[in-house]
Amino acid sequence: MIARLRGRVVVADTDHVVLETGGVGYQVQCHLRTLAALHEMGDREVILHIHTSVSDDAIRLYGFLGRDELRLFRLLIGVERIGPKAALSILGRAELPTMVRAIRDGDVALVATVPGVGRRTAERVVLELSDRLGDLALTMEPAAPTAAAQAVEAAVAGLVGLGYRESEARPAVRAALAAAGEADGDVTALVGRALRLLDVGAAT
C-alpha cells in the first residue's frame, strides 16, 4: 500500500495531479483546494499523504497535504453513501478546522452545501462522525481567506489544469463571480461560467 509520496507535480488536471517520484508518475486524485495549493507551490518538491484504494479494475490514489485531512477522508468514506468523490468534495468545501467544527457542532447546513451531498446525507455525516473526530484540527487556522477568495483560487487552478494561462483564467473567474453577484462561490459552477466567458472571448 502506498502511504506517502514525495516528488514534483508534472501534470495538473481538474481533479488530479501526476506526481513524479523516482522516475515514476503517480496519478493522484485531489480536492480543489489541494490542487490550488499545489499550483501555488510551482515546481517545488511536495509531499502528499496517500490513501490507496484497490478494486477489481483499478488502484486509485487519493492525496492530501496534511495527515489530518487524510484521517477525515477515511472517516468520511466509512459513512454510508459517501464515496471517495463525495468525501473529496466535502474536504474541498472549507478549510479543515472549519469543516471539523461544523461536523462536531452539528452544522448540517454547511455540509449540505457541498455539491452532490444532500441534506439527508449531511445529517448522516454529522450523526456518525460528530463524536469520532478525536483531536482532528484542534488548532485554529490563521486568518483564512474568504470562501469567495478560496473559490476563485480553486477555479483558477482548475482552468490552468485545463491548459489556460493564469493571466487569462484569473480575470475570467473574477468576471464570472462578479456576474453571478455571489459573496460565496460554488467552484464547479464558477469554472463552468468562466469557461463560457473564455469561449465567448475566443469567438470574438
Cell digits of residue 93: 468545501
Distance (Å, rounded) from C-alpha 98 to C-alpha 197? 32
Domains of the chain: residue spans and CATH: 4-64 (2.40.50.140), 67-129 (1.10.150.20), 147-203 (1.10.8)
170, 40 Cβ separation under 8 angstroms:
no
pLDDT for residue 90 is more than 90: yes
**Which percentage of the chain shows pLDDT scores above 90?**
47
Express each pLDDT in 130-185 by its tens digit. 999 987 865 544 444 556 677 788 888 888 888 888 888 888 887 887 776 554 55
Express each pLDDT in 183-192 by its tens digit. 455 788 888 8
Query: What is residue 190's predicted lDDT score, i.e. its pLDDT?
Result: 82
Query: What is residue 137's predicted lDDT score, i.e. its pLDDT?
Result: 66
What is the pLDDT of the chain when averaged over all its residues? 86
Express each pLDDT in 21-47 by its tens digit. 999 999 999 998 898 888 878 778 999
Q: Is residue 79 very low, low, confident or very high in pLDDT (cuts 50, 70, 90)?
A: very high
Distance (Å, rounded) from C-alpha 28 to C-alpha 5? 10
Mean of pLDDT values over 88-113: 92
Distance (Å, rounded) from C-alpha 113 to C-alpha 103? 13
pLDDT for residue 193 is more than 50: yes
pTM of structure? 0.68
- 89-94 long-range contacts, CB within 8 A, separation 24+: 89/31, 89/114, 89/115, 89/116, 89/117, 90/114, 90/117, 90/125, 91/31, 91/33, 91/64, 92/31, 92/32, 92/33, 92/34, 92/154, 92/187, 94/147, 94/150
